[in-house]
Homo-oligomer: A and B are copies of this chain.
């Protein structure tokens, strides 16, 4: 079996969403779907033709199978998922908002099979042999001590294997404190090649003070020896009416055009961006990376659920000949 293009590592959860903006208290129906930052990116990459494996830990029960099926459905390799006979699957409830009420996530993921991962359960050297990119977010180390240690081990193995290490802090205030997060982010930073982080994130988590975003990104590149800092931007006039864009500070500064998005789904946009960017990078250069990241991230806002259910043709169309007229 040839090596993977991309290896991702993290938890995926059953997501339960009341339909039509209903609140949990008033619903009798939940849409079930699957999501998890690293799996979302893995799905996006697999759909674009990359060889991707998603590493995680799941209970051997219908919910664990539901999650792994969802990954497999879109072509993600799941052969390194560890199965637990006793633990539970993580769950999260999403209440979709509309201005002025924000969407809100209720996590029920404590003590999940993934959080109970013990580092020695995974043979990172074998998994990462020959891989080109290892992608993880800050959610994984936030889950538990075991996940934190596994994240560090995976990054180390990735470096040893010659893979690029790509990291999105993805801070979740419902999982850990800023102080806890910061300590981990800083410890990881020097190992990274690609860091997804906003101007505010660079200041709050990495202590980088700079008046403008690009200046901050350049400081971060230098301080941590990064190949690129990826900064997505968002202006939100409402929950469903946003403008998104991005800047990548690598060998030079790459700016993607801004796009108006009618937000059907806010979740997973960053993960879709990451999928587009990594695909562009692995099949081209930073210019292609930014273009593909921007298009994939923007298009994702129109697709319900966490997964970026796009085709390369659609992304290319959005880059080369964007149109919102009915295609018929």
Q: How far is the CA of A25 from the CA of B98 in the complex (A)?
A: 27
Of residues A73, A263, A265, which shows the largest number of chain B Cβ atoms within 10 Å of its Cβ? A73
Q: Is A101 within 8 A of B30, CB to CB?
A: no
Q: Is B32 within 8 A of A27, CB to CB?
A: yes
Min C-beta distance of A254 to chain B, whole Å: 19
Q: Is B62 within 8 A of A73, CB to CB?
A: no
Min C-beta distance of A282 to chain B, whole Å: 21
B-contacting 9-mer, from A128-136, A188-196, A218-226, A301-309: A301-309
Q: Is A304 within 8 A of B20, CB to CB?
A: yes
User: Which B residues are in CB contact (< 8 Å) with A73?
Assistant: 69-70, 72-73
Q: Is A29 within 8 A of B30, CB to CB?
A: yes
Q: Which of A77-98 contact B (CB under 8 A)?
A: 88-89, 91, 93, 95, 97-98
Chain A interfacial residues counted at CB < 8 A:
83
User: Which B residues are in CB contact (< 8 Å) with A61?
Assistant: 106
Min C-beta distance of A64 to chain B, whole Å: 10
In the complex, A260 has a CB within 8 A of chain B = yes
Q: Is B62 within 8 A of A326, CB to CB?
A: no
Q: How far is the CA of A303 from the CA of B106 in the complex (A)?
A: 17
Contact pick for A98, options B110, B173, B264, B328, CB 8 Å: B264
Q: Is B101 within 8 A of A309, CB to CB?
A: no
Min C-beta distance of A228 to chain B, whole Å: 24
Which B residue's beta carbon lies closest to that of A103? B326
Beyond A29-B31, A99-B302, 10 additional pairs, beta carbon < 8 A? A20-B304, A25-B65, A29-B29, A30-B30, A72-B75, A89-B108, A99-B260, A100-B302, A102-B325, A236-B325
5 closest A-B pairs by beta carbon, nearest first, are: A24-B62, A105-B328, A73-B73, A98-B262, A98-B302
